[in-house]
Structure 1
Amino acid sequence: MKIVVVREYARLTTDPVEATLDQATVTPSAFEWLCNLAAGFSKGGASLLHLENRRWLRLDSYVGVVETPCGTLLEILPKHTPVSNEDIAAKSRALLIKMLAEALDLPVRTTEKTDITTFRHPLLEWVMKQFVLSLDHLIKRGLRFDYQRVEEEQHFLRGQLDVVKQMRQPPGRAHIFNIRHDLFLLERPENRLLKTALMRVCRTTNQPQTWRLAHELAGLLADMPDSTDTQRDFRVWSNERLMAHYQPVRPWCELVLGQHMPLTVRGATHGISLLFPMEKLFERYVETRLRKQLPSPYSLKAQARSASLCRHNGADMFQLRPDFLVREGCKNIFAMDAKWKLISGAYGENKYGLSQADFYQLFAYGHKYLDGTGKMLLIFPLTAEFPEALPAFDFSPALKLWVVPFDLETDRMTWPNELKMAWHTP
């Protein structure tokens, strides 16, 4: 298997070029397959990559892994620094794993303390490793059995005789008994899903330790049937008290089976592929960190949708959905948006790299959610070029906007001096 490691907005070509995080060479079959995949994404309203003069593909802002039918594994990492080298690739992979674990609330089980920081295999291998470790822990604690009602014909009595069916037996079959009885079996929706995910890992993983453990567990579940309808089985997954020890493995099972991803690509000729929109992942990660750091008496409301831009014929039109609203009681104090984009702390000709459309968006939030009076924040990832908050942008004397950095290493947001007292940050 050929592994190609790049990052967001990298360019791919079939011509021989120097391999970096921002450009790489792929096989012609992989190039063609990616073009067809991008066409399918475009029909669904998503943009996976762009075709440049039929010789180059430029990736968009999706991260994760994609495996092509020819065996090329494309790993796409976050672009959180302008520098491109091997050390940045390791840090980007560790950052992506940390953000996924936090944003998707994944219960990470590791065999050693430095497992995440030293894990140098593609992201997909990390997901499969965590799944088999969680499943191994679950099996050691004990799988949940359930009674299954069986109705059959036998030459002996077992359980309960079905009198109605027995009376309808023809004379030549009077010696055959119609019986009903219960069997105490492992066949539950949860166990079927785990078996299906485990068999997919057995077929996909290339890491010796994961492969060995997965096949050991597959032997223990050999008599368990696979799930024929994963969506239905996930819907009926039990959350009762006796099934509490199943909860840590469920997120990993959903990842492997493609039920927990914004976008998944699966097929018979290649393994599992997982793609994450980096904008949504960054937004979700910032939300989880801010929610934990929020001091009393404030509360955080994500994706508020109570206001619209205008009304037409008595109905709301163009719903406004800020990423976060900070409230004190019932009053909105801050409106915030998180943007995954590298900007500069120097003004220059490109105005810090900020988007005018984002300012129009925040302007609308300020008038509809803050009644034209209040404070707003645009949150971008912290970089060496953007180390501190920019001076305030004044929409009016009563409505101000600050552009602030969020440090993905310390998980802290750098607040402007004007807001530190209002936020009561330590």
Structure 2
Amino acid sequence: MKDTLTLFEYDHLCTDDGAEDTIFIDSDAFNALELFLCSQAANENINAEETHAVFRFSSRRGRKTLAAQNYVGVISAGNTEIEILPKIGKKIRYCDSEYERVRRTFLAMLQELRDAPFKNLGCAELTTARMPLFEIFISAFLNEVSKVVRSGLRSDYQDWSGNERFLRGATQLFRAATSQSRQQLSLCCGVQRLSREST
């Protein structure tokens, strides 16, 4: 099982446990991040010391660190998942309720994105705020996959309601009570039918 490390934007990661103003990360994960940054720099033909989109090389009090940049999300390095939250919660650290508040705010920001799969996360807000970001992203992905599997590539389920001689789907009592035709041999039902047309 992977360890989860939570930090905020612009925090510094260091392998020295006693360093001030830094967050401790094990050397394997630090080396994996360092190797990733160097390989990215080689692919883009830039100096590895230059600013990267996610991390940049830095130093604090003579110790080598990696500073998180203007990035929010999840990065996997070795056996550690690094969860980077927005800097809005940076003042009060090491408090679980503060991390939950920042996660809730971050998820609210994601839900406001246009054309993003985060409009409906499908989880209760309290449960979602306690979950690591990686699990939230996986659940959003699985919700989208289930929609595609359910609808298929060329078909989709569409709502249908009408009178049937036998019960199909859900009974629509309000519609039955207000319906003009009160046939004793039919029920007002609502069901989702599979449509073969492309939507």
- The TM-score normalised by the length of structure 1 is 0.30
Contact 1:11–1:59 under 8 Å retained in 2: yes
Equivalent position SS for 2:131: coil
Closer, same or farther: CA 17–105 of 1 in aligned 2, 3 Å: farther
Confirm or deny: 8 A CA contact 1:2 1:73 kept in the other structure: yes
1:155-170 mapped onto 2 (5 Å cutoff): none
For residues 129 and 105 of structure 1, the distance between their equivalents in structure 2, rounded to whole angstroms, comes to 17
Aligned to 1:38: 37
Residue 66 of structure 1 aligns with which residue? 75
CA offsets 1:238-289 (integer angstroms, 9 cap, x no match) = xxxx554xxxxxxxxxxxxxxxxxxxxxxxxxxxxxxxxxxxxxxxxxxxxx
What letter corresponds to residue 96 of structure 1 in structure 2?
Answer: F
Higher-RCO chain (CA-CA 8 Å, sequence separation at least 6): 2
What does 1:266-285 correspond to in 2, within 5 Å? none
- In structure 2, relative to structure 1, the CA distance for the partners of 1:243 and 1:89 (3 Å cut) is farther
Residue in 2 that maps onto 1:14? 15
| Structure 1 spans left out of the alignment, 5+ residues | 146-241, 245-426
Task: Give yes or no for contact 1:7–1:76 (8 Å, CA) kept in 2.
Answer: yes
Q: How does 1:65-214 map to 2 (within 5 A)?
A: 65-68=74-77, 70-81=78-89, 82-84=91-93, 85-107=95-117, 108-112=119-123, 115-119=124-128, 120-144=130-154
Distance 1:23 1:56 in 2: 8
Provide the C-alpha distance between the structure 1 equivalents of 2:198 and 2:101, rounded to a whole number of angstroms: 37
Worse overlay, 53-62 or 76-85 = 53-62
Equivalence for 1:26: 25
Determine helix, strand or coil for the equivalent of 2:147: helix
The separation in 1 between residues aligned to 2:198 and 2:30, in whole angstroms, is 45
Q: What residue in structure 1 maps to residue 176 of structure 2?
A: none
Identity %: 25
Following TM superposition, by how much is the alpha carbon of 1:45 offset from its aligned partner in structure 2, in angstroms? 6.2
Within the candidate set 43, 57, 62, 2:66 is matched to: 57
Post-superposition offset of 1:9: 1.4
**RMSD, aligned α-carbons:** 3.1
Q: Which has the larger radius of gyration?
A: 1
**Separation of aligned partners in 1, 2:56 and 2:198:** 42
Cα 1:77/1:243, change in 2 over 3 Å? farther
Number of positions where the alignment pairs a residue of Structure 1 with one of Structure 2: 144
Deviates more, 1:98-107 or 1:122-131: 98-107
CA separation of 1:138 and 1:59: change in aligned 2, threshold 3 A: closer
Take 2:112 and 2:75, find their aligned partners in 1: how far apart are those partners?
A: 22
Measured at CA, do residues 28 and 243 of structure 1 come closer, stay the same or move farther in structure 2, by a change above 3 Å? farther
**Unaligned 5+ runs, structure 2:** 156-196
